[in-house]
Chains A and B, each alone.
Chain A
Amino acid sequence: AQTVTQSQPEMSVQEAETVTLSCTYDTSESDYYLFWYKQPPSRQMILVIRQEAYKQQNATENRFSVNFQKAAKSFSLKISDSQLGDAAMYFCAYRAPNKFYFGSGTKLNVKP
């Protein structure tokens, strides 16, 4: 069965610093997508970054990048130059072939 595990319920980072959120997943599929979603308090869940499993190159989106280790089934999110607006719940998600599985989330606090 596919599962997604986020082992860090809560993390804190100083503004302008870098933080890494961890995610591991379990699957027997070879072709799938991985995502990080951001959910600000009482706000809509939005996509931060995605990675196709067949791509070896790690995805980047401005200050957000991932470290995708397919063999280890690991998919961490690095946020550089953290900003106050980055404070939110972050969910790791896995998709294959037409079903999504979400982790339990990591609450990120950003300290000014």
Chain B
Amino acid sequence: EAGVAQSPRYKIIEKRQSVAFWCNPISGHATLYWYQQILGQGPKLLIQFQNNGVVDDSQLPKDRFSAERLKGVDSTLKIQPAKLEDSAVYLCASSPPGGGNTGELFFGEGSRLTVL
């Protein structure tokens, strides 16, 4: 079974530039999450999708961050314009409908963003 795919793995940009990250969840996983993980900290939820609808985006800085999940499958997270404090690893995770048998999240390898 293929895991959660993310790209790019690494991205370096100047402040005020834009960047986009892509995530393809495990097939059949209805719930998709984007987390921001700043170095030395735990993951912080940015947005949660159920199929192609938003369940929770309360911590998404909507003035600069946007995310979409067209057709309820893959998702894109965009930052425009980027700030220095956006330097972090952006983790995508997915879970089956209702959490499945185990309730766990399945993570991708993450996209590391450096803003100079």
Binding site for B on A (CB under 8 A): 4, 6, 33, 35, 37, 42-47, 50, 52, 91, 93, 95, 98-100, 102-105
Across-interface contacts of A4 in B (CB, < 8 A): 42
The contact sample of 16 A-B pairs, CB cut-off 8 A, is: A4-B42, A33-B99, A42-B112, A44-B109, A47-B104, A50-B103, A93-B105, A95-B105, A98-B31, A98-B98, A99-B56, A100-B105, A102-B43, A103-B42, A105-B40, A105-B41
Q: In the complex the two chains form, what is the Cα distance from A37 to B43 in whole Å?
A: 11
Determine whether the beta carbon of B43 is less than 8 Å from that of A91: yes
Residue of A nearest to B103 (CB): A33
Q: Residue of B at shortest CB range from A102? A: B42
Chain B contact residue count (CB 8 A cutoff): 25
Interfacial chain B residues near A44, Cβ < 8 Å? 3, 107-110
Is the CB–CB distance between A43 and B48 below 8 Å? no
Tell whether, in the assembled complex, residue A35 and residue B91 are in contact, meaning their CB atoms are under 8 Å apart.
no
Q: Are A91 and B42 in contact (CB under 8 A)?
A: yes
User: How many angstroms between the C-alpha atoms of A42 and B10 in the bound complex?
Assistant: 11
B45 adjacent to chain A (CB < 8 Å): yes
